[in-house]
């Protein structure tokens, strides 16, 4: 019979292996016959090829959250997201994608840099867009949606540049000639959000 400590170490090893798998965020892509580029973190089509293999040093809130609880199906905060999207004339899918990538639908999320809530707003951004309590889901989503709306307007509705600016700041996007800045985090963030965006669109056909 195995020593109790052996079972303990084996359990820890298995948990560590599961943790590492969850912390990965590999992104796959392919371009269809119409020239549309598709992204996914869970490729279901043979045409997908690996675009980026990413690992986090520590598991993010989104990585630790089971996929079925991330709200991609549209059930978590659906009303608040739909209302903010309508007000800002954005797609609900975009807000779901940003929330999934930023916080994994955890309204109490707080990053090491001080970003707060579902859409991980920095305190100054939250204040600028009227979120008195950035931990409040409705206020956080509305402020984040307003910020995204302004970024899209700034970058001629280029979703990838707007997402890069959301992650790295608009000044960095401008600094690098209106291109995605060459930062490792941003280079991984943009395709990750795009993958969530397309996953939401597949899960909710006909939605805006």
* Residues catalogued as catalytic: 102
Check: CB of residue 48 under 8 Å from CB of residue 40.
yes
Check: CB of residue 144 under 8 Å from CB of residue 118.
yes
Structure tokens at 28: 């796959």
- Name the E strands within 12-149: 27-31, 37-40, 49-52
Check: CB of residue 51 under 8 Å from CB of residue 86.
no
Check: CB of residue 53 under 8 Å from CB of residue 179.
no
**Residue 44 C-beta-side C-alpha neighbours within 13 Å:** 4
Distance, CA of 23 to CA of 186 (rounded, Å): 17
CA distances from 5 to 1, 2, 9, 18, 150 (A): 12, 8, 6, 20, 56
């Amino acid at each position: 019979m195995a020593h109790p400590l052996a079972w303990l170490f084996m359990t820890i090893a298995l948990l560590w292996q599961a943790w590492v798998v969850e912390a990965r965020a590999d992104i796959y892509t392919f371009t269809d016959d119409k020239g549309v580029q598709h992204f996914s973190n869970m490729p279901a089509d043979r045409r997908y090829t690996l675009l980026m293999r990413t690992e986090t040093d520590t598991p993010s809130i989104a990585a630790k959250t089971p996929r079925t609880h991330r709200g991609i199906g549209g059930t978590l905060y659906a009303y608040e997201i739909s209302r903010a999207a309508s007000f800002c004339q954005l797609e609900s899918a975009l807000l779901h994608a940003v929330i999934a990538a930023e916080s994994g639908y955890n309204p109490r999320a707080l990053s090491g840099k001080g970003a707060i809530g579902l859409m991980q707003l920095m305190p100054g951004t939250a204040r600028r867009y009227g979120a008195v309590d950035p931990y409040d889901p409705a206020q956080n989503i509305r402020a984040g949606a307003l910020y995204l709306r302004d970024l899209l307007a700034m970058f001629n509705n280029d979703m990838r540049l707007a997402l890069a600016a959301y992650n790295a700041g608009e000044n960095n996007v401008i600094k690098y000639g209106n291109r995605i800045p060459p930062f490792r985090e941003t280079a991984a963030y943009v395709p990750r959000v795009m993958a969530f965006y397309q996953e939401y669109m597949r899960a909710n056909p006909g939605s805006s």
